[in-house]
Structure 1
Amino acid sequence: MKIFLTGATGFIGKALLATVTSQGYEVYALVRDLPRFRQAVAQLPLSVSQAVVPIAGDLSQPRLGLSSANYERVSDTDMIIHAGGPMNIRLGAAEAERAFLHPAKELAELAVRIHRNKGLKQFIHLVGFMSPYDEANALTDQDAALGHAPPYERSKFQADAYLRQALYQHSIPLSTVNPSVVIGDSLTGMTEQLGGLGILVDAVRRNLMPLVPGGDRYWLPMVHLDHVASFVANLVSTENISSDTYYLLDPRSGSPTMRELIRTIATELRTMQPIGSVPPRLLKAALGAGIGERLGIPSESLNFIVDRDFPVRSKTDIEEKHGERTSLAKDTLPFVIADLDYRLTHPQSAVPEPFMQKRRSKVVTLEREGEGPPVVLLHGAFSSADRLVPVAERLNGHRTILIDLPGFGRSPVSRGSSLIEDCVEAVTALIAQLEEPVVLAGHSFGGLIAAKVMERIEPRIRKLALLQPVLHPLSLKYRSSALTGTILKRLKSSAFGSELRKGGDFPEGGELMEGYVAATIRELRSPRIRHTNAWAMSLLTRTRSFELRPETWNRDKVLMLRGERERAFFLPEPFRRFDIHSLPYGHQFPIEAPLPTADWLRSAILS
Structure 2
Amino acid sequence: MEYHTYTTEMSKNDHEAITILLTGSTGFIGKEAVKQLMDENSDLILLVRSKLKAQSTLQAYGITDFSRITFVQGDLSVSGLGLSTEDYKLALGADVIIHAGGTMDVTLERTLAEGIFMNGAKEIAALAEQIHRARGLRHLIHVVGFMSPYGKNATEVEGSIGEGSTGGTAHNPGDLRTASLKMLHTESAYEHMKFEADAYIRKHAERCAYPLSVVNPSTVVGAYPTGETEQTGGIGMLVQAMSKGRMPIIPGGASHWLPLISNDVVAQTIVYLSREVEPSGGTYPVLLPKEDSPNMKELIQLMATTLDVPSPRWSAPLPIIHAAMKAGGERISGIPPESISFITKRRFDVEQTKQLFLRMGQSIPNVVPLLPHVIADLDYRLTSPVVAGKALPKGWKRTRKGDLAVLVHEGQGEPWVIVHGLMSSADEMLPLGQALQRLTGNPIWLVDLAGFGRSPALGAQQDEVGFNGQVKAIVGVVNEITGSFKLVGHSIGATIVGAVLRECKRSDVQLAVLQPVWTASEDQVQRLASKLPRRMLQKQLSRMSSRRLVKQFKRADSTIIDEKAILAYADRVSTSLRSPRIAGANADLLRWIQRPDRAAVPTFDEAARTLLVWGRTDIGYMRPQGLPTSLKCAELPYGHQFPMFHPQETAMLLADWQVEQNL
Question: Which position in structure 1 is the counterpart of 2:592?
Answer: 539
- Residues 200-349 of structure 1 mapped to structure 2, 5 A cutoff: 200-348=238-386, 349=388
Moved more, 426-435 or 457-466: 457-466
**Per-residue deviation, residues 541-564 of structure 1 (Å, max 9, x unmatched):** 123321344322253x32222222
Question: Which position in structure 1 is the counterpart of 2:451?
Answer: 407
Question: Which position in structure 1 is the counterpart of 2:579?
Answer: 526
Tell whether the 8 Å contact from 2:416 to 2:485 is kept in structure 1 after alignment: yes
**Per-residue deviation, residues 164-204 of structure 1 (Å, max 9, x unmatched):** 12222111111111111111224322211111111111111
Tell whether the 8 Å contact from 2:205 to 2:211 is kept in structure 1 after alignment: yes
Moved more, 240-249 or 402-411: 240-249
Check if 1:164 corresponds to 2:211. Answer: no
Tell whether the 8 Å contact from 1:436 to 1:460 is kept in structure 2 after alignment: no
Using the alignment, how far apart are the partners of 1:54 and 1:370 within structure 2?
A: 34
Scaled by the length of structure 1, the TM-score of the pair is 0.94
Tell whether the 8 Å contact from 1:466 to 1:561 is kept in structure 2 after alignment: yes
**Match among 116, 138, 144 for residue 121 of structure 1:** 138
Check if 1:359 corresponds to 2:397. Answer: no
**Match among 81, 104, 116 for residue 64 of structure 1:** 81
Residue 515 of structure 2 aligns to which amino acid in structure 1? Answer: Q
1:588 CA drift (Å): 1.1
Tell whether the 8 Å contact from 1:222 to 1:328 is kept in structure 2 after alignment: no
1:89 CA drift (Å): 0.6
Using the alignment, how far apart are the partners of 2:412 and 2:109 within structure 1?
A: 52
Question: Structure 1 pair 505/321, CA: closer, same or farther in 2 (3 Å)?
Answer: farther
Question: Which position in structure 2 is the counterpart of 1:95?
Answer: 112
Question: Which position in structure 2 is the counterpart of 1:567?
Answer: 619
Residue 657 of structure 2 aligns to which amino acid in structure 1? Answer: A
Q: Aligned with 1:470: secondary structure?
A: coil
Q: Aligned with 2:454: secondary structure?
A: coil
- Residues 450-599 of structure 1 mapped to structure 2, 5 A cutoff: 450-457=497-504, 459=506, 461-474=508-521, 476-477=527-528, 478-480=530-532, 481-504=534-557, 507-555=560-608, 557-575=609-627, 577=629, 578-599=631-652
Give the fraction of aligned pairs with identical amino acids, expressed as a percent.
Answer: 35
Check if 1:439 corresponds to 2:462. Answer: no
1:106 CA drift (Å): 1.3
Q: Aligned with 2:208: secondary structure?
A: coil
Check if 1:429 corresponds to 2:476. Answer: yes
**Per-residue deviation, residues 140-174 of structure 1 (Å, max 9, x unmatched):** 25533222642111211111111112222111111
Question: Structure 1 pair 387/520, CA: closer, same or farther in 2 (3 Å)?
Answer: same
Question: Structure 1 pair 547/16, CA: closer, same or farther in 2 (3 Å)?
Answer: same
RMSD: 2.2
- Residues 180-195 of structure 1 mapped to structure 2, 5 A cutoff: 180-195=218-233
Q: Structure 1 regions of 5+ residues with no counterpart?
A: none
Q: Aligned with 1:394: secondary structure?
A: helix
Using the alignment, how far apart are the partners of 1:532 and 1:45 within structure 2?
A: 32
Residue 446 of structure 1 aligns to which amino acid in structure 2? Answer: G
Using the alignment, how far apart are the partners of 2:492 and 2:453 within structure 1?
A: 15
Residue 514 of structure 1 aligns to which amino acid in structure 2? Answer: L
Question: Which position in structure 2 is the counterpart of 1:369?
Answer: 410
Using the alignment, how far apart are the partners of 2:539 and 2:322 within structure 1?
A: 33
Tell whether the 8 Å contact from 2:601 to 2:627 is kept in structure 1 after alignment: no
Using the alignment, how far apart are the partners of 1:384 and 1:419 within structure 2?
A: 17
Aligned length: 606
Question: Structure 1 pair 203/483, CA: closer, same or farther in 2 (3 Å)?
Answer: closer
Tell whether the 8 Å contact from 1:284 to 1:299 is kept in structure 2 after alignment: yes
Using the alignment, how far apart are the partners of 2:645 and 2:288 within structure 1?
A: 48
Question: Which position in structure 2 is the counterpart of 1:388?
Answer: 429
Tell whether the 8 Å contact from 2:31 to 2:61 is kept in structure 1 after alignment: no
Using the alignment, how far apart are the partners of 1:221 and 1:513 within structure 2?
A: 44
Tell whether the 8 Å contact from 2:558 to 2:619 is kept in structure 1 after alignment: no
Tell whether the 8 Å contact from 2:557 to 2:618 is kept in structure 1 after alignment: yes
Using the alignment, how far apart are the partners of 2:558 and 2:442 within structure 1?
A: 28
Using the alignment, how far apart are the partners of 2:349 and 2:312 within structure 1?
A: 31
Residue 61 of structure 1 aligns to which amino acid in structure 2? Answer: V
**Per-residue deviation, residues 228-285 of structure 1 (Å, max 9, x unmatched):** 1111122122332223111112222222111111111112212122121111101101
Check if 1:132 corresponds to 2:149. Answer: yes
1:583 CA drift (Å): 2.5
Question: Structure 1 pair 584/67, CA: closer, same or farther in 2 (3 Å)?
Answer: farther
1:448 CA drift (Å): 0.8
Question: Which position in structure 1 is the counterpart of 2:161?
Answer: none
Q: Aligned with 2:108: secondary structure?
A: coil
Question: Structure 1 pair 239/281, CA: closer, same or farther in 2 (3 Å)?
Answer: same
Scaled by the length of structure 2, the TM-score of the pair is 0.87
Q: Structure 2 regions of 5+ residues with no counterpart?
A: 1-17, 153-169
1:43 CA drift (Å): 5.4
1:426 CA drift (Å): 2.1
Using the alignment, how far apart are the partners of 1:419 and 1:141 within structure 2?
A: 58
Q: Aligned with 1:226: secondary structure?
A: helix
Question: Which position in structure 1 is the counterpart of 2:5?
Answer: none
Tell whether the 8 Å contact from 2:248 to 2:312 is kept in structure 1 after alignment: yes
Question: Structure 1 pair 463/388, CA: closer, same or farther in 2 (3 Å)?
Answer: same
Moved more, 301-310 or 43-52: 43-52
